[in-house]
Amino acid sequence: MVKSVSRSSVLLFVLVPLLGWFAARGADMYALARWNTEDSAIIVLESILGREVEAVLENEGDWETERVTIRITYRNGPSAGTSEEIEILQLADSRLALVPGREYLFLVDTFDDGTRQYSISDRYRIPAVVGFITLACAAFAVLAGKAGVKALCGLFLSLFLLLGWFVPKLAEGYTPVPFAILATAGVSIVTIIFVVPRRVLWPIPFIGSVGGAIAASLTGWTMIGLWQLTGLENDSAALLFSVAPHLELRGLLLAAVMVGAIGAVLDVAVSVTSSMAELYSYDPSIPLRRLWRAGLNVGSDVLGSMINTLILAYLGSSLPFVVLISLEGPDMTALLNDPHIAQEILRSVAGTIGLLLTIPVTAAAGVWWIARSYPNAENRQREELAD
């Protein structure tokens, strides 16, 4: 026991930070090698030599601009390794703090007359992001052991499925909802394979999770029709429509509801499946009606926390907008009619209905599958379910 704790401590406090550092260095080297644009570069801000307020732009909300003289060192491109003093233009109240010693993304705008305007667009944070992700994943794997590694594998494969197949299909103009159903089914399969150790039980949470996702989709489709939502209720959707007007934004909204709910739906489906399997492995002679009620009871207990998880996740993602509404002191009637609020309510209600219907679907699938696969209470069946 002491040796196990000691080895885990060494892994957690020595090897995990080293792995995070190497991942950050590798990401930095990769980014520097691939960053080959002509109008931007990664630079180190060596020092700030001076600031000068240039003008007041009355037509832009009385925002002041300023010219900042800085000394930079290029990290990539033709000028890599060289330093120079330049003058950049930025808003006087820019939220991007310029701190000597840190790395930034440097932009060059060339006008028709040949003049150039320099600016700093953002912090260069790729190595830090990759390093912290690696650090968190490695720490999770060390603390959770084999189960943690399998869960991470399922997560990465699910992200690969969504970002490598589902999102490109949507960008090509395919109908969102059928592909969302296929994507949620694929995520369910991948997650179940890595999370549920008993193969004999895999069909049960799969049926339950896909059923819950379809229920969320049908609920969302009904609400969108009754509430006359267009899918253009937020800035990102409006920007997407201006760039790709051929996309079906109402379908994208439904797809977002399904993808957003699949995690919580899977959690409920797996919990119900595990509890029913444990009951059957303990007493293979348990009546199917009792097994069904047990699945419903466990699902009801899990449902409360899962609804909180789903609703609070949606609230957290839209918190700045909620705070903005609070500052305006809105009337409740107008608040309920606001399309942005209606869209968030749609996500929450559709996800909740999906969770609610996942429970009976999973319980029914569990009773059917267990009765089909294990009709007799034999020791061999008990061992297979308890394996």
Could you tell me the CATH number of the domain that includes residue 163?
1.20.1640
> Are residues 99 and 203 part of one domain?
no
Q: Which residues contact 129 (CB under 8 A, 6 or more apart)?
A: 27
Give the pLDDT mean for 308-328: 72
111-118 contacts: CB < 8 A, separation 24 or more? Answer: 117/89, 118/86, 118/87, 118/88, 118/89
Domain boundary among 58, 93, 123: 123
Q: How far apart are CA 129 and CA 116, in angstroms?
A: 31
* % of the chain residues with pLDDT over 90: 20
> Are residues 209 and 70 part of one domain?
no
227-273: per-residue pLDDT in tens? 888 777 677 777 787 777 788 888 888 888 888 888 888 888 998 99
Q: 383 pLDDT band (50/70/90 cuts)?
A: very low
Q: Is residue 22 in some structural domain? A: no
- The pLDDT assigned to 29 comes to 93
> Are residues 156 and 67 part of one domain?
no
> Are residues 219 and 90 part of one domain?
no
Domain boundary among 90, 123, 156: 123
CATH number of the structural domain spanning residue 117: 2.40.50
- The pLDDT assigned to 73 comes to 94
> Are residues 290 and 374 part of one domain?
yes
Q: Is residue 198 in some structural domain? A: yes
28-84: per-residue pLDDT in tens? 999 998 887 778 899 999 998 888 776 555 555 556 778 889 999 999 888 888 999
Q: How far apart are CA 157 and CA 135, in angstroms?
A: 19
- The pLDDT assigned to 1 comes to 45
- The pLDDT assigned to 58 comes to 52
User: Cβ-count burial of 210 within 10 angstroms (0-12 exposed, 13-18 middle, 19+ buried)?
Assistant: buried
* % of the chain residues with pLDDT over 70: 87
> Are residues 365 and 268 part of one domain?
yes
> Are residues 119 and 227 part of one domain?
no
DSSP states of 295-341: HHHHHHHHHHHHHHHHHHHHHHHTHHHHHHHHHH---HHHHHH-HHH
> Are residues 254 and 185 part of one domain?
yes
Q: Is residue 194 in some structural domain? A: yes
Q: 189 pLDDT band (50/70/90 cuts)?
A: very high
Q: Which domain holds residue 362?
A: 145-386
206-233: per-residue pLDDT in tens? 999 988 888 888 888 888 888 888 777 6
> Are residues 184 and 314 part of one domain?
yes
Pick the range with the lowest mean pLDDT from 63-67, 132-136, 303-307, 333-337. 333-337
Q: Is residue 128 in some structural domain? A: no
> Are residues 86 and 204 part of one domain?
no
Q: What rounded mean pLDDT belongs to the chain? A: 82
Give the pLDDT mean for 153-168: 89
User: Cβ-count burial of 3 within 10 angstroms (0-12 exposed, 13-18 middle, 19+ buried)?
Assistant: exposed
> Are residues 300 and 269 part of one domain?
yes
- The pLDDT assigned to 224 comes to 86
Burial annotation 131-143 (CB, 10 A radius, 16+ → b, else e): beebbebbbbbbe
Q: How far apart are CA 271 and CA 143, in angstroms?
A: 22
100-146: per-residue pLDDT in tens? 999 999 998 888 777 888 889 899 999 999 999 999 988 888 888 88
- The pLDDT assigned to 205 comes to 92
Q: Is residue 259 in some structural domain? A: yes
Q: Is residue 377 in some structural domain? A: yes
Domain boundary among 89, 123, 157: 123
> Are residues 204 and 96 part of one domain?
no
Q: Count of domains in the chain? A: 2
